[in-house]
């Protein structure tokens, strides 16, 4: 019995056939996508895939956010394809600009340095606004106020397997707050002082650390140093109330005041991940091993063949990243004492 199958057996509720629409209890959930108008045709593929594999059975809403107004074409096409309601938000300036405590010359110098070092997105100003926005502001958008749960979707992603149960309801029924599909090491040059500042914050608020936290996933030396493991945030199924919590708000504000989003190039993925690993109990974080996911060069593909047939997955297991050297997947299974899929050693 593979771990994938055992996990699947605990999924609550009725499994839906492809032509069935869910009639049971729904939760307060929405998809959320930050995107540019120019990404419409990459995004629409993601949306079509998410609808085909999941949402056409559940009809959850979809919130779109942008730092510029969406075009009519963007709104018309996304509304035509999303099975739930669609909503479009213009991000307020305060959520996508330099705060007054930032020295913009120093920020520009840092971009020049990172460009010379060929650090990915090192010279990009908009990427920094994006990472700061996804860390501290997306969940503050009024369009999300009516929801408890969100699923983040980016342009160009793939879903490889049928998802025949309600992932949001699964999270709610099992007391989960943060869900991921892929974990990976961060480029150290993008976050040289993130862990130092995180430790300083924790010294001020030792009571914010969850008793049964996941520190052993993010550190190999009980918190002395950060091992760079993080959940890849282009896929997230999570609870908005976690980001709205006092602990997270204070953590984000503290990090923001250091200027690291601009003087370095902190990603929202390590920021979200450090918060989840420190402020949540480990059993509140869920690894979705059954999604089958791709973004860019990294893929998750369930290794058990019968599982792939049962869920009509179209991915090649040879591409699965979970147990490869640069993934933090093996570490996650180990620290969580989870049983790895029987096949895992053939895919390292």
**Residues with catalytic annotation?**
236
| 8 touches, from Mn ion, ligand GDP, none (C-beta below 5 to 8 Å by class) | none
Q: Which of 11, 67, 189, 196 binds ligand GDP (CB under 6 A)?
A: 67
* 3-state percent breakdown (helix, strand, coil) of the chain, nearest 5: 45, 15, 40
Task: Identify which of residues 160 and 295 has a Cβ nearer to ligand GDP in the complex.
Answer: 295
Q: Is 161 a binder of ligand GDP (CB under 6 A)?
A: no
The interface mask with ligand GDP, positions 117-136, x = CB under 6 A, is ---------x---x------
Enumerate residues 6+ apart whose C-beta is below 8 A from 330.
322, 323, 340, 344, 348
User: Which residues in the 165-194 window bind ligand GDP by CB under 6 A?
Assistant: none
Q: Is 155 a binder of ligand GDP (CB under 6 A)?
A: yes
| Minimum separation from the CB atom of position 122 to Mn ion (A) | 16
Task: Identify which of residues 16 and 153 has a Cβ nearer to Mn ion in the complex.
Answer: 153
Task: Identify which of residues 138 and 149 has a Cβ nearer to ligand GDP in the complex.
Answer: 138
Strand extents, DSSP E, 117-272? 149-152, 158-159, 178-180, 183-185, 229-231, 236-239
Q: What is the DSSP string of 171-195?
A: HHHTT--EEES-EEEPPGGG-TTHH
Instruction: Kindly state the number of chain residues that form the binding site for ligand GDP, as judged by CB under 6 A.
Output: 11
| 240 touches, from Mn ion, ligand GDP, none (C-beta below 5 to 8 Å by class) | none
Instruction: Please say whether the dihedral angle defined by the alpha carbons of residues 186, 188, 189 and 192, taken in this order, is positive or negative.
Output: positive
Q: What are phi and psi of 178, to 5 degrees?
A: -145, 130
Copy the structure tokens of residue 323.
Answer: 């147990």
Chain residues that interact with ligand GDP, rule: CB under 6 A: 34-36, 39, 66-67, 126, 130, 154-155, 234
């Amino acid at each position: 019995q593979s771990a994938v199958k055992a996990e699947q057996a605990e999924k609550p509720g009725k499994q839906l056939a492809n032509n069935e629409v869910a009639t049971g209890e729904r939760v307060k959930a929405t998809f959320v996508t930050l995107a540019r108008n120019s990404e419409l045709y990459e995004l629409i593929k993601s949306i079509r895939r998410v609808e085909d594999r999941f949402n056409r059975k559940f009809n959850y809403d979809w919130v779109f956010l942008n730092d510029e107004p969406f075009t009519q074409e963007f709104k018309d096409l996304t509304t035509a394809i999303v099975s739930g309601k669609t909503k479009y938000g213009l991000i307020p300036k305060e959520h996508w600009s330099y705060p007054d405590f930032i020295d913009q010359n120093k920020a520009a110098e840092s971009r020049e340095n990172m460009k010379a070092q060929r650090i990915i997105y090192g010279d990009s100003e908009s990427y920094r606004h994006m990472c700061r926005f996804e860390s501290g502001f997306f969940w503050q958008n009024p369009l999300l106020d009516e929801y408890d749960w969100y699923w983040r979707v980016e342009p160009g992603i793939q879903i490889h397997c049928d998802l025949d149960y309600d992932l949001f309801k699964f999270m709610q029924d099992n007391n989960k707050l943060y869900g991921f599909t892929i974990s990976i090491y961060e480029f150290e040059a993008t976050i040289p002082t993130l862990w130092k500042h995180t430790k300083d914050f924790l010294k001020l608020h030792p009571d914010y650390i969850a008793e049964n936290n996941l520190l052993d996933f993010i550190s190999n030396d009980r918190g002395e140093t950060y091992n760079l493991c993080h959940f890849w945030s282009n896929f997230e199924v999570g609870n908005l109330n976690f980001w709205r919590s006092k602990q997270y708000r204070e953590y984000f504000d503290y990090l923001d005041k250091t200027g690291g989003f601009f003087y370095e190039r902190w990603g929202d993925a390590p920021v979200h991940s450090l918060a989840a690993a420190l402020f949540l109990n480990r059993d509140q974080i869920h690894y979705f091993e059954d999604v089958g996911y791709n973004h860019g060069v990294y893929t998750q593909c369930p290794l058990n063949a019968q599982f792939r047939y049962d869920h009509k997955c179209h991915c090649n297991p040879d591409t699965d990243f979970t147990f490869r050297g640069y993934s933090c997947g093996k570490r996650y299974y180990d620290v969580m004492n989870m049983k790895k899929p029987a096949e895992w050693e053939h895919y390292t």
